[in-house]
Amino acid sequence: MGAIVYPEKSEEKSAQQDVMARFGDGLPYERERIVHEARFYMAQSAEAMLEAGKRLIILKENEPYGEFMKIVEERIGMPYNTAGRLMKAAIKYLSPSLQQKSPTLVKLGKAKLYELMLEDDEELAELAEGGTIAGLTLDDVDRMSVSELRAALRKDEAALKRSQQLVAEKEKQLQQLSRQLVEGPASGEDDAPQLAPEHWIRLTLDGVGERLKAERQRLGLSQEVFAERCGVKKLTQYNYEKGERYPDVTYLVAAKSIGLDLLFLVTGERTDEASALDVVRDQEEAEVLTAFRHIPGETREVAKRTLTAMTEKKTARSRA
């Protein structure tokens, strides 16, 4: 489509009048009305995309592959790759988990829906309900450009990959600290770096983010409300749920007071037994138990022996 050519005018007002005469449908300029109409037609475009995707899925299901390609390219006049994107979008946004949220999401427009297609259904549903995705609210996504949204999603994905790459290293450090606490330094390792208990707690909290999010959703609270009740910022809550930061004892106590299942959070197991954190006597013991009760099943015995050793040392100190 070529550039719009306006008649030469000496005054800016005349140019504006020409534009309104050509495109304004006989109505005067009102910014809010124009913005509202622009968003309305963008939403129609996104909704039309999903409706077209539905029809393409039906055609593909009922026509032989070669005939389907012919229909798409010759009769509909659409590149096959574009048809594939439309079908994927329809499958994504009209799935049972997102179908009721799609009227809200389509307001973002077709291009942004494409960018969000790789995100989890649960996160998209939460976004439509007032939550966040990659730390962004629905209004944030609506205001930003497509390129800004793409950059934010890629940054979030990169942060997640970096976090995953640390798992192997942290597991190695975890095993090292277990040996230090239970057996003491091995011969020839006197000069090896010793890991502090605070580092142990940080290492053993990997994976707690998903369970924290599940518990918050079970309680029916948004990230913002949950964060406020636990005394942290919404971004901090987001980082906790992504596993990019680690909850401290103060946060866990506050979360438990509003109904969070602390035992499930730190162990992944639901049981009728009271959490050991319910009966701890001081913050030091709470920190130890918070760390050790989260350890995966395959290293649970190591954890038990380590916890026993630390308890014995603590008892010995109190008697001294």
Q: What is the pLDDT of residues 223-257, one digit of tens each?
A: 888 999 999 988 889 888 887 777 777 788 888 88
Distances (CA, A) of 168 to 76, 154, 206, 299, 304: 51, 23, 11, 15, 22
Residues 6+ apart with CB under 8 A from 70: none
The tokens describing 96, both together, are: 């049972």
CA 6 to chain centre: 47
Q: Residue 168: is its pLDDT beyond 80?
A: no
pLDDT grade for 276, boundaries at 50, 70 and 90: very low
The tokens describing 44, both together, are: 């129609």
Q: Which residue has the higher pLDDT, 303 or 65?
A: 65
Distances (CA, A) of 51 to 46, 64, 87: 9, 21, 9
For the chain, the average pLDDT equals 73
Over residues 22-61, the pLDDT tens digits come to 777 888 878 777 767 766 766 678 888 888 888 988 888 8
Instruction: Tell me the three state secondary structure of residue 136.
Output: strand
pLDDT grade for 150, boundaries at 50, 70 and 90: confident
DSSP letter at 132 equals -
The tokens describing 160, both together, are: 């997640």
CA distance 239 to 233: 10
Q: What is the pLDDT of residue 306?
A: 61
Q: What is the phi/psi pair of residue 301, to 5°? A: -65, -40
Q: How many distinct helices (H) and strands (E) make up the chain? A: 18, 0
Do residues 259 and 219 make contact, with C-beta atoms less than 8 angstroms apart? yes
Distances (CA, A) of 139 to 46, 149, 315: 17, 12, 55
Place of tokens 């603590």: 314
Helices in 184-282 by DSSP H: which ranges?
197-203, 208-218, 223-229, 234-242, 249-257, 262-267
Of 3.30.499.10, 1.10.390.10, 1.10.260.40, 3.40.50.1820, which CATH number belongs to 165-319?
Answer: 1.10.260.40
Instruction: Map out the domains of the chain as residue ranges.
Output: 12-129, 165-319
Q: pTM above 0.75? A: no
The tokens describing 101, both together, are: 């949220």
27: left (phi over 0), alpha (psi -120 to 50) or beta: beta
Q: Residue 215: is its pLDDT beyond 50?
A: yes
